[in-house]
Chain A
Amino acid sequence: MSKVAPELQYSAEHEWISTDGSSPSTIGVSAVAADALGDIVYVDLPEVGATVTAGEPCGEIESTKSVSDLYAPVTGEVTEVNTAAVDDPAVINSDPYGAGWLFKVAVESEGPLLTAAEYAAANGGEL
């Protein structure tokens, strides 16, 4: 069963966001989503300086067998993107909560977020 990192919060669209109080916040996709997508081969991220809006698509993630939109879990300006994950998207599968992070946002407001326990319960993940 796919891992759900307990220290993070999650959107219903399977993004995670760091909640250690630091700003900007780091955003990625959950292992549940990465496993469901299969081997990720392409990721399209918002550009640094762009403003993303909570609940709206801001990029896409493509695997060998499917493609899905990447949703912003928060509203704010993108301060950094993980170019290493763009160059080698396999890291999103192998380390979704670590080296496979996607982008950072200076958070203005949050969309609806789930705790790790709530997300795991809703998506069959394992804490």
Chain B
Amino acid sequence: MTENHTALYGEHQKAGASFTDFGGWQMPLKYSSELAEHHAVRNAAGLFDLSHMGEVWVSGPDAAAFLDYALAGKLSAVAVGKAKYSLICNADGGIIDDLISYRRSDDKYLVVPNAGNAATVAALLAERAAGFDVRVQDVSGETSLIAVQGPNAEAILLTLVPAGQHPLVKELKYYAAVEVGITVGGTVHELLLARTGYTGEDGFEIYLPNADAPALWQALLASGTAHGLIPAGLAARDSLRLEAGMPLYGNELSLDGHPYAAGLGPVVSLAKESDFVGRAALAAIKESGEGTTTGRKLVGLKGVGRRAARGHYPVLKDGVVIGEVTSGQPSPTLGYPVALAYVDVAHAEPGTLLDVDLRGKAEPFEVVALPFYRRQK
């Protein structure tokens, strides 16, 4: 597997990061302590390099109609300036990726797939574009993505935004994006700023050309330090998203799974008039009740003891395997183990007591409603 480096690789090296391979990229796992990074995001702010994520522009007169066809959600209903979480499925209803799409104008969207799926998604979009008057442009290789996440994220962003544009940032809603002036290397650049994230906190994601990324990273660190900002790696990103009950592609979401069992039924728009890839299969799955009234569905598990469940551990009821853990670890914020697992729907009600086979020893866990952690607003 090739090991790509983001434009910020040098910054991570300077900061003493330890690296991990993720989706074909060498990414910072942590800089010092992943627990400290996790707590910084919950209590102050963390700085993330997400440049491994993909960026695909979809533009043209048919852009909205095309995305309605290519994705499971109704992207034509998204207002300009807003974003939408969606799925790209295959004809069987299997999940190829989960992604966020930003509507930038009537006929232009930015689609953001996961790192490991970016090339696949870009190619599929191009393939599905046949017959539509659209242009699909994969700019992943030239685009960086920097996230500032945490309660102090807004204050930190504002230090780099001209005063006249402060209202644009302050009034930016969750799952919305705006072009805003951000000072990078002494000059103001118009950059795409989104109020999105994968941590369960308030936060921003900034899309920018690779060449400007190191300067913005340094500027954010320089002005953010006073606000408690520290760089945070993928270990913290994973524990943060797990506490927030957010699925990770490859763990909770896969080609073999489908949106209904993953709790993402509302993301699938069977109400939209037009056809879309996977529609017939997804309608049949919904009709069958698979993942809602039969089979297995995704639930949250809270550990009664101190030992944590991990991915692929069996979930038991009275000694019989009735499910499997997809993600799990000790929750740094809550102080007890948390996990996501697919379990038989008969045992999926919050309050149900189950066991997880922790390397040969059954440890009690309770089914709980998601998310595990919800920030105070």
Stretch at the interface among A35-43, A48-56, A70-78, A108-116: A35-43
Contact A42 B329 (CB under 8 A): no
- Complex A-B, nearest 10 residue pairs according to Cβ-Cβ distance, in ascending order: A39-B35, A41-B330, A42-B306, A39-B33, A65-B235, A38-B34, A64-B329, A64-B34, A39-B34, A64-B239
Contact with A along B17-28 (1 / 0, CB 8 A): 010000000000
Cβ of A117 within 8 Å of any chain B Cβ, yes or no, is no
Assembled-state Cα–Cα distance A93/B332 (Å) = 16
Which residues from A are CB-within-8-Å of B330? Answer: 41-42, 62, 64
Contact B308 A62 (CB under 8 A): yes
Which residues from B are CB-within-8-Å of A67? Answer: 307-308, 310, 359
- B contacts, CB < 8 Å to A: 18, 30, 33-36, 38, 235, 238-239, 306-308, 310, 329-330, 332, 359
Classify chain A's interface size. Answer: 10 to 19
Which residues from A are CB-within-8-Å of B35? Answer: 39, 41, 64, 90
- A contacts, CB < 8 Å to B: 35, 38-39, 41-42, 44, 60, 62, 64-67, 90, 93
Which residues from A are CB-within-8-Å of B235? Answer: 38, 64-65
Distance to closest chain A CB from B177 (angstroms): 31
Assembled-state Cα–Cα distance A64/B333 (Å) = 11
Which residues from B are CB-within-8-Å of A39? Answer: 33-36
Contact A38 B30 (CB under 8 A): yes
Assembled-state Cα–Cα distance A38/B233 (Å) = 12
Known: A39-B33, A64-B330, A64-B332. 9 other contacts (CB 8 A): A38-B34, A39-B34, A42-B306, A44-B307, A62-B330, A64-B34, A64-B329, A67-B308, A90-B35
Which residues from A are CB-within-8-Å of B238? Answer: 65
Assembled-state Cα–Cα distance A62/B303 (Å) = 14
Which residues from B are CB-within-8-Å of A66? Answer: 310
Distance to closest chain B CB from A85 (angstroms): 14
Contact A42 B307 (CB under 8 A): yes
Distance to closest chain B CB from A45 (angstroms): 13
Distance to closest chain A CB from B32 (angstroms): 10
Assembled-state Cα–Cα distance A62/B329 (Å) = 9
Assembled-state Cα–Cα distance A67/B310 (Å) = 9
